Amino acid sequence: MPHRITFDAPQSNTARLRGWLIAAALLSMVVGNAIMLWNTRVQMRQGYGDFASSYAAGTLVRRGLGAQLYSPAAQWKVQQEFASEVKIRHGPLCYLRPPFEALFFSGLAAWPYPAALVVLTGVKLALLAAIPFIVVRARPWKEASPLWLTGILILGTFPAFMDLLLGQDAVLLAFLFAICFWQLDTGHDMGAGVTLGLALFKFQLALPFVGMLWIAGRRRILPGFAISGSAVLAVSAALVGWRGLFKYPGYLLALNRTRGLGIAPQVQITLRGLLTRFMGDVSYSGRILWLLVPVAIGAIVYAGFIWRRAGEGFLAEGFGLAAVVAIVTSYYASDYDLLLLIVPLLAIRTRAHHADADANTEVPEADRINRYLEAGGLLLLLLTPVYWFTRTQLHSECLMAIPLMAVGVALARTLRSAGAVKLRAQEVG
């Protein structure tokens, strides 16, 4: 591990004022989000949110009907038991996750739907509050707001709001990625791999992330990932049977082709969504995939390569770039998935007072670049009106992929500069 140097210089008055202004803006959005959640409590209780599909899946598992987990008829029958008042659906809100996550929801299915939603929300609030402490740990934290308040301020971000509103599982994923960062930061790569295996309920994000870590030289994640990945695969097979498990990819592809059941690409904050937005909803989506696949592979390889060249001292930046690439190149990624960026954003905030690199890996103007990255990340996470405008007026949340890619480019510049400095130092030495 690189030698760590701690800087305890006090913040300037300008930096302190900026920190308090950001905290005040976030706090105002926390209040606004809380009011909106309260105003929609009736609809949430009736089953309008995405949690309806997860609760139905958990109910099927709890009743020993795991083999019917991906049966639209079975899902619709269960959903009618607790969400019959929903007027906007005339068919099931289909369950999309791998079978093993339904085992978690089967525990929540022991309660009535409204109570289960309250329990899940309470768990997610606790996990959100814990994320800053997991990421920062022993690193110096010189921000105006204390860490406990930072956990509350995260609730002011639009991704956190959408996760709580819809009853999604993005908070669970962000919590696992926070643990993964902690394990990588302390040199426990195998533990990081185990954690990422548990994150396979969103395999479209976890798998490319593992690939970038492997390319970056963190090879020891693979044994841990194989252990937990095999475990969740075995659990999934036990729930739905191997035959049902092999049919799962076809189930997802069929939903994607079914109008009214699949997820429109335009609402995805991905490159696929952008291409669909500007090329039109072509009848043959293969032409978009033929363009997307090589771009995704190239971005994954390049991100892992420059992360490796920069060295372990730039874990926060490499982690952030890998998260951005995983989201942008994913087939499915929604606004709430941007919660993943909370992890590198918190870690980068400590670099103003905490140099993770030694004398041979310091990057010229790194502080200036990091300030730009922080501003881009805050813009991405905090501007709720921008999200509402792209969602309600343009019906194209995919446009938010543009600033997301800008943050990725800035992170890539930091890693590329770090790699060049390190290479020159080796040549001189």
| Cα(278)–Cα(402) distance, integer angstroms | 13
Q: Which regions in the chain score pLDDT beneath 50?
A: 1-10, 283-284, 353-364
3-state secondary structure 92-142: CCCCCCCHHHHHHHHHHCCCCHHHHHHHHHHHHHHHHHHHHHHHHCCCCCC
Q: Which residue has the tokens 């089967």?
A: 106
Nearest to 297 by CA among 203, 207, 403: 207
| Cα(420)–Cα(415) distance, integer angstroms | 9
Distance of CA 90 to the CA centre of its chain: 30
**Cα 54 to Cα 46, 105, 117, 293, 426, distances in angstroms:** 14, 6, 11, 30, 53
SS3 332: coil
Q: What is the pLDDT, as a whole number, of residue 375?
A: 67
Q: What is the pLDDT, as a whole number, of residue 329?
A: 93
Summarize pLDDT for 177-200 with one digit per residue, the tens. 999 999 999 999 999 999 999 999
Name the token pair of 190. Answer: 């195998």
- Cα(first)–Cα(last) distance of the chain, in Å? 20
Q: What is the pLDDT, as a whole number, of residue 3?
A: 37
Summarize pLDDT for 335-386 with one digit per residue, the tens. 899 999 999 988 887 765 444 444 344 444 555 665 666 566 666 666 777 7
Q: Which residues contact 376 (CB under 8 A, 6 or more apart)?
A: 403, 406, 407, 410
**Cα 297 to Cα 79, 151, 209, 367, distances in angstroms:** 39, 35, 12, 30
How many contiguous H segments (helices) and E segments (strands) does the chain have? 19, 2
Kindly state the helix (H) or strand (E) to which residue 5 belongs, with its residue range. strand 5-6
Name the token pair of 177. Answer: 């990625």
| Cα(138)–Cα(134) distance, integer angstroms | 9
| Cα(340)–Cα(325) distance, integer angstroms | 12
Q: At what angle do helices 99-108 and 51-62 cross, to 10 degrees?
A: 90
Q: What is the pLDDT, as a whole number, of residue 358?
A: 41
Nearest to 289 by CA among 261, 270, 267: 270
SS3 354: strand
Q: What is the rounded (10 degree) CA torsion for 77, 83, 84, 86? A: -130
| Cα(93)–Cα(75) distance, integer angstroms | 8
Encode burial over 68-100: b for 16+ CB neighbours within 10 A, e otherwise.
bbbbbebbbebbeebbeebeeeeebbbbbbbbb
Sign of CA dihedral 50, 53, 57, 60: positive
Q: What is the pLDDT, as a whole number, of residue 274?
A: 85
Structural domain spans, the chain: 7-39+111-428
Which phi and psi angles does 354 have, rounded to 5°? -140, 105
